[in-house]
Amino acid sequence: NAGVTQTPKFRVLKTGQSMTLLCAQDMNHEYMYWYRQDPGMGLRLIHYSVGEGTTAKGEVPDGYNVSRLKKQNFLLGLESAAPSQTSVYFCASSDGTGGNQPQHFGDGTRLSIL
């Protein structure tokens, strides 16, 4: 049972380069989320989606774009990478029925911007 799968696991970019992080979930979850985790700051929500074709901004959306063309996939894009975007990025998903549902996380993408 794969759960939430993130690719790639590691990446090094130069300032100004672009890239896309892929998240795939096999739990048929409606909701998906992208977070970044930095030392001493906890997990911060970048963007999220409540269903196929929908996206919304989280706490720290600047410099990132997202797309949810298929229910099982949620893509995070960096158009012009900056050193401040060096971080560990986590994708999560949750069941959309009712409320209070826990989020289930992938194992992260470690991204370094030089």
Partner 1 sequence: EDQVTQSPEALRLQEGESSSLNCSYTVSGLRGLFWYRQDPGKGPEFLFTLYSAGEEKEKERLKATLTKKESFLHITAPKPEDSATYLCAVQGARRGATNKLIFGTGTLLAVQP
Residues of this chain that bind partner 1 (CB under 8 A): 4, 31, 33, 40-45, 48, 50, 56, 58, 90, 92, 94, 96, 99-108
Is residue 4 exposed (0-12), middle (13-18) or buried (19+ Cβ within 10 Å)? buried
Instruction: Quote the least distance from Cβ 74 to partner 1, whole Å.
Output: 14
* 5 closest CA partner among 111, 110, 107, 77: 107
Nearer to partner 1, 56 or 82 (CB): 56
Least distance in angstroms from the C-beta of 90 to partner 1: 5
CB of 34 to partner 1, least distance (A): 12
CA–chain centroid gap for 26, Å, is: 16
